Amino acid sequence: MPQLLPKLRYSCSLLIVAIFIGNPHLFADQPPSHTESLWPDGAPGVEGKGEGDDPQLIITKVESEGPTAAVVILPGGGYGGHAIGHEGHAFAEWFHSMGISSAICTYRLRGKGNNGKGYGHPVPMQDAQRAIQTLRARAKELNIDPDRIGVIGFSAGGHLCSTVSTHFAEPIEDSDDPVQRVGSRPNFSICCYGVLSMGQPYTHQGSQRNLLGANPDPEVLASLDNPTQVTPETPPTFLWHTAEDTVVPVENSLKYYQACVANKVPVEMHLFNEGRHGLGLAQSIEGAKQWPGLCESWLKRLKMINPK
């Protein structure tokens, strides 16, 4: 029996290491969060209560003496899923480390809910606009500044990010719903390797099909080619992309950048040669791993990060 103890200790140590490698955040100090329904009284146009019919907000609140900035996080997934790990929870932690509260929005999409048919446009846009309005309407409760609420999106979530940065829900001052009494225009926008164009040779066809169907209405399609929708009202924007991205070509970000410049929208863009699509924080990729630090510096210059 004594001879077995070293082997047992060794086996247990290997098991602990394996668990930690498979779940790197298991023993980390994760910021506290809570999940709530985006539409507490039921989302518009929804009759069922199945998976995908009730979009959620996963709110991570920063404890601070004064109000902080906040950001709505829109994970990618081709409008057919949510890459909620490396494009959701990882960014809630990142923003929390900078003193910025966040809300991951599990917007409705194709393939889930709606009796199996899922949801296309304008539903994802309505959910993302509602997420911004929710943070703004509850600013005092959440200790956030209603004039410092932004949005970040990745891949197809980047398209949704650019959509709510160019298409705004206006406030309805006499609404019975306090969330609708405030507008949805974000105060800043971060698009990460985004599907920013629709109806173009460099459009990600799967995202377009999931959002608009196989034969989209030409006018609706044109309205969601978001570089053409940029106006002086588009909020200050941060873009990054890689030249090696073969899933969502870099032309998407280039066109959006040019549109921001043409409309005198404050914009910063960083392009890196190496790196596949969907990198998230990109910490294993030389060059591209610089982008979080560059974005943090940009947020500081916008005064979105409270001085320490």
Domain identity same for 130 and 18: no
Same domain, 208 and 82: yes
Segment among 30-39, 92-101, 191-200 with least mean pLDDT: 30-39
Please indicate, yes or no, whether residues 159 and 224 belong to a single structural domain of this protein: yes
| Average pLDDT, integer, range 92-102 | 98
Do 19 and 104 lie in one domain? The reply is no
Note the pLDDT of residue 45: 83
Rounded to the nearest 5°, which phi and psi values hold at 299? Answer: -65, -35
Calculate what percentage of the chain has a pLDDT beyond 70: 90
146-176 pLDDT, tens digit per residue, is 999 999 999 999 999 999 999 999 999 999 9
- pLDDT band at residue 18 using 50, 70 and 90 as cut-offs: very low
What is the predicted pLDDT for the residue at 186?
98
Q: What's the rounded Cα separation, in Å, for the pair 83 and 76?
A: 6
Tell whether 13 and 144 lie within a shared domain.
Answer: no
Give yes or no: residues 44 and 5 share one domain. Answer: no
User: Does 295 reside within a domain?
Assistant: yes
Q: What is the pLDDT of residues 73-84, one digit of tens each?
A: 999 999 999 999
Using the predicted structure, report yes or no on whether residue 184 has a pLDDT greater than 80. Answer: yes
The pLDDT value recorded for residue 284 is: 95
In a domain, 307, yes or no: no
Mean pLDDT to the nearest integer, 38-57: 89
67 and 166 in a common domain = yes
Instruction: Report d(CA 154, CA 85) in Å as an integer.
Output: 12
- Domain range enclosing 136: 31-301
Per-residue pLDDT tens digits for 107-118: 999 988 998 899
Residue 9's pLDDT is what?
A: 42
- List the CATH number of the domain containing 77: 3.40.50.1820
**How many domains would you assign to the chain?**
2
185 within a domain of the structure (yes/no): yes
Does residue 259 belong to any structural domain of this protein?
Answer: yes
pLDDT of residue 31: 80
7 lies in the same domain as 86: no
pLDDT in tens, 56-66: 999 999 999 99
> Does 44 lie in the same domain as 135?
yes
pLDDT surpasses 60 at 202: yes
Dump strand ranges (E) for the chain. 33-37, 56-60, 68-74, 101-105, 144-154, 188-192, 237-242, 267-272
User: Please, what is the Cα angle at 179 between 105 and 139, to 5 degrees?
Assistant: 75
